[in-house]
């Protein structure tokens, strides 16, 4: 079963979540601080950890900085963040720092399990078949759908699983507008749990990596009031 790194400073919350995860077959490493979590990832435990569940409100180094450091270390490790307030600013900041998903505390066991399962599924290699295995060079951008690689101007662009799946989903139907709800269901597997902040934050991170001028995107265009469309201008 998958191995989870649980980063939570509240002992009772941490123990309760660890118990739930272990009862459902997950291996669990725990950390009470960001520094402890980063040390675990850098050590022997890092080789077995497949997903991080990260509280934003940590003593010392906060969860936003921990998220950024984890993402700088690994583009592919799924990160599900925990937030106590569900505050828009906190959620958006956490998503922009590189988190793949979020859960508002107090979290129930079914919601936590669902979010972890969905994040792990996104991390599994898979091919979203489109009209072609490899899209042609789009002014420097090459998307190899079979090889699951992306290059811009000949330079590889490493993408976390969520951002790669988002790009594959959008580019599978060039010119077609996909709503945020469609993308939540197809990329995040959130038919009823998610919200549009996940999509908007992931699009922003993706644009920063593939667009030459993210503020004037060529590839991922916003269709105001509807969603997003892939197609070079």
Total number of domains in the chain: 2
Domain that holds residue 175: 141-230
- Confirm whether 130 is domain-assigned: no
82 has which bridge partners? 55, 103
Tell me: do 169 and 103 sit in the same domain: no
Q: pLDDT tens for residues 199-220? A: 999 999 999 999 999 999 999 9
- Confirm whether 115 is domain-assigned: yes
Q: What is the pTM of this model?
A: 0.83
Residue where the block lists tokens 């996104």: 122
Residue where a domain stops, chosen among 57, 89, 123 = 123
3-state secondary structure 122-170: HHCCCCCCCCCCECCCECCEEEECCCCEEEECCEECCCCHHHHHHHHHH
Q: pLDDT tens for residues 167-197? A: 999 998 888 999 999 999 888 887 655 578 8
Cα-to-chain-centroid distance, residue 131: 26
> The CATH number of the domain where 226 resides is what?
1.10.10.10
Measured distance CA(156)–CA(132) in Å, rounded: 20
User: Would you say 67 and 86 are in contact if contact means Cβ atoms under 8 Å apart?
Assistant: no
- Confirm whether 128 is domain-assigned: no
Closest listed residue to residue 199, CA positions, set 231, 156, 228, 223? 228
- Confirm whether 38 is domain-assigned: yes
- Confirm whether 210 is domain-assigned: yes
Q: pLDDT tens for residues 191-202? A: 655 578 889 999
Residue where a domain stops, chosen among 123, 150, 168 = 123
């Amino acid at each position: 079963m998958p191995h989870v790194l649980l980063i939570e400073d509240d002992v009772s919350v941490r123990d309760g979540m660890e118990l739930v995860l272990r009862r459902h077959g997950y291996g669990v490493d725990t950390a009470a601080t960001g520094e402890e979590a980063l040390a675990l990832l850098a050590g022997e435990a890092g080789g077995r950890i497949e997903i991080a569940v990260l509280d934003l409100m940590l003593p010392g180094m906060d969860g936003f900085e921990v998220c950024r450091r984890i993402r700088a270390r690994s583009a592919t490790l799924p990160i599900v963040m925990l937030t106590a307030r569900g505050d828009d600013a906190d959620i958006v900041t956490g998503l922009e720092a590189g988190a793949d998903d979020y859960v508002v505390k107090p979290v129930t066991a079914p919601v936590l399990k669902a979010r972890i399962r969905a994040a792990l599924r996104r991390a599994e290699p898979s091919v979203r078949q489109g009209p072609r295995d490899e899209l042609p060079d789009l002014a420097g951008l090459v998307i190899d759908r079979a090889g699951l690689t992306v290059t811009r101007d000949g330079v590889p662009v490493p993408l976390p699983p969520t951002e790669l799946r988002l790009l594959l989903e959008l580019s599978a139907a060039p010119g077609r507008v996909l709503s945020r709800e469609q993308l939540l269901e197809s990329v995040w597997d959130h038919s009823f749990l998610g919200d549009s902040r996940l999509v908007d934050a992931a699009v922003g991170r993706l644009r920063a990596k593939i667009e030459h001028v993210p503020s004037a995107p060529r590839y991922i265009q916003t269709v105001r009031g509807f969603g997003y469309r892939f197609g070079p201008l």
